[in-house]
Structure 1
Amino acid sequence: MIDWSKQHCGVHQAPFDKVLELMPDLVDVLKTFPDDPSRFTWDVKVHMLMPRQFPCVPNWHVDNVPRVDGVQRFELVKPELPMYCWISGPPLTQFKHGFLTPKRWHRFTQLDEHRGTASGDFGWRGFIRATHVDIQAPKPEGHLRRHCQVYLDAETFQW
């Protein structure tokens, strides 16, 4: 069982060996990855959430669509290549076909729309995304994630 409150904020565009080095507590989850982990670029985000905070974009969106001059270029998408995600628990990410099941790897593509949902409680959430290296190559350095943003509902936010 991973204690997400004791983890770094995560990793950003890292090769598999860096994930293991920087976040060794994830090894048991990563052992269950259904593909060859060396063929993927890894992102891990750890969020401390309060009620009504979103750990990811709350509007329908897709991941890793190439941009040229700030414009998404869908003709450059490689839908035959997989991406995978894994979440530790709520709030659940919603895809068009339904909500992700926590603690399970989910395969998706650059064209699969999804959105974040709001936290109903105070708590910690871990998110892991693996993107095929032919979609996004790992960065050469700087893999330790220094911060993770949350999204707020401006209509209901209060401190």
Structure 2
Amino acid sequence: MMENEHDTYEANAFRRHRHDVLNELQLIRGYLQLGQMERALGVVDRTAGWLQSLTNWQTSSDSVGEWLMWEAATCPNLLLQKINVTGEPGAEFLTRFAAWLRRVNDGAAQQGVRLEISVTLAEASACVRGRSGQPFVVDTDWLKAFPMIAFDVVDSGNATEVRG
């Protein structure tokens, strides 16, 4: 085994993913110990939805699907509903898109929101439509940091569009 094999991109992503899954299991355990079956089942359903969305990322495209799946594995507040890849996104754009995913996931986590997203990826741009059952406040710094990503969120019937 190579000395730095444990520091591969996939290994680091898996460690972050494992941490998030273990957190979910701890929540389930706690709710069960407190006799709160409905809340425990809610966490089970939420976790199952997130894990299923990883399959959507993985099977999205031969060239980018697996790489994006590793990124999405560290974004438990984003559930991919569907993805359309038009053209061949470049490595630099995919790196920026992954950073955007992490930032949106962090914002959703801070707000206690889960976003269901549909993504269209092109060679150097993306259009992401999100849906949430709760209000979601978009960080306006995203406009400056990620001008190549159009982001549209519908929450509880209200639409908020953010375009770079």
Bucket of the pairwise TM-score, normalised by the shorter protein: under 0.3
Q: Which has the higher contact order (CA 8 A, sep 6+)?
A: 1
Specify which structure has the higher proportion of helix: 2
Structure showing greater radius of gyration is 2
TM-score by length of structure 1 reads 0.23
Specify which structure has the higher proportion of strand: 1
TM-score by length of structure 2 reads 0.23
